[in-house]
């Protein structure tokens, strides 16, 4: 694959991992500055397009591997992002918590304490976003139902 193909594949993977709304927000808010735009172009091509797209592991497994790496190296901001990726790829809160606890014996309690504090925040945010999405869906269904009834009258 050439760089353009890797970039396009990377964009597709980032969009899948983030979800559409988060993907758009990260591109405009986090990566809107020219310096950060250069960063995300390189990361999209070399990390998401080349590494995340490799055969052998699915996105769900890769999301967990990256989350574990962040916990081990104390990359708290990245851990927050990658923990959301892991949840969106289907890992449960219980599985993520257990993975973090398993790491405690190998990387130490202080790093896992920080990771667990991040997990508390991420889980709460994730639950709130799911509830918000459900409310939005219900409101849309009610609106569609009401408009359908009005049209029948």
pLDDT confidence of residue 135? 78
Q: Which residues contact 66 (CB under 8 A, 6 or more apart)?
A: 78, 82, 85
Q: Which residues contact 1 (CB under 8 A, 6 or more apart)?
A: 9, 49
Determine what percent of the chain falls in helix, strand and coil, rounding each to the nearest 5.
85, 0, 15
CA distance 59 to 45: 16
pLDDT confidence of residue 109? 98
> On the CB side of 85, how many CA atoms lie within 13 Å of its CA?
27
The domains found in the chain, sorted by start residue, are 1-55 (no CATH), 57-136 (1.20.1290.10)
Instruction: Please report, in tens digits, the pLDDT of each residue of the chain (153 residues total).
Output: 788 999 999 999 999 999 888 888 888 888 888 899 999 999 999 999 999 999 999 999 999 999 999 999 999 999 999 999 999 999 999 999 999 999 999 999 999 999 999 999 999 999 998 888 877 767 666 665 666 666 555
Cβ-based burial of 60 (10 A; exposed 0-12, middle 13-18, buried ≥19): middle
pLDDT tens, residue by residue, 41-56: 999 999 999 999 999 9
pLDDT confidence of residue 134? 79
pLDDT confidence of residue 142? 64
pLDDT confidence of residue 26? 85
pLDDT, the chain, mean: 90
Contact yes or no for 18/59 (Cβ under 8 A): no
pLDDT confidence of residue 143? 62
pLDDT confidence of residue 111? 97
Does the CA dihedral 20-67-35-4 come out positive or negative? negative
């Amino acid at each position: 694959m050439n760089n353009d193909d890797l970039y396009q594949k990377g964009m597709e993977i980032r969009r899948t991992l983030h979800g559409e709304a988060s993907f758009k927000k990260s591109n405009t808010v986090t990566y809107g500055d020219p310096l950060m735009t250069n960063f995300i172009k390189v990361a999209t091509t070399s990390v998401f397009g080349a590494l995340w797209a490799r055969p052998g592991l699915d996105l769900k497994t890769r999301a967990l591997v990256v989350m574990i790496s962040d916990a081990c190296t104390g990359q708290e901001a990245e851990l927050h992002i990658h923990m959301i990726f892991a949840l969106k790829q289907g890992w449960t809160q219980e599985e993520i918590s257990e993975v973090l606890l398993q790491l405690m014996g190998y990387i130490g309690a202080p790093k896992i304490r920080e990771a667990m504090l991040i997990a508390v925040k991420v889980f709460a945010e994730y639950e709130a976003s799911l509830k918000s999405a459900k409310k939005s869906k219900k409101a849309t269904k009610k609106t569609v139902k009401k408009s359908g009834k009005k049209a029948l009258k």
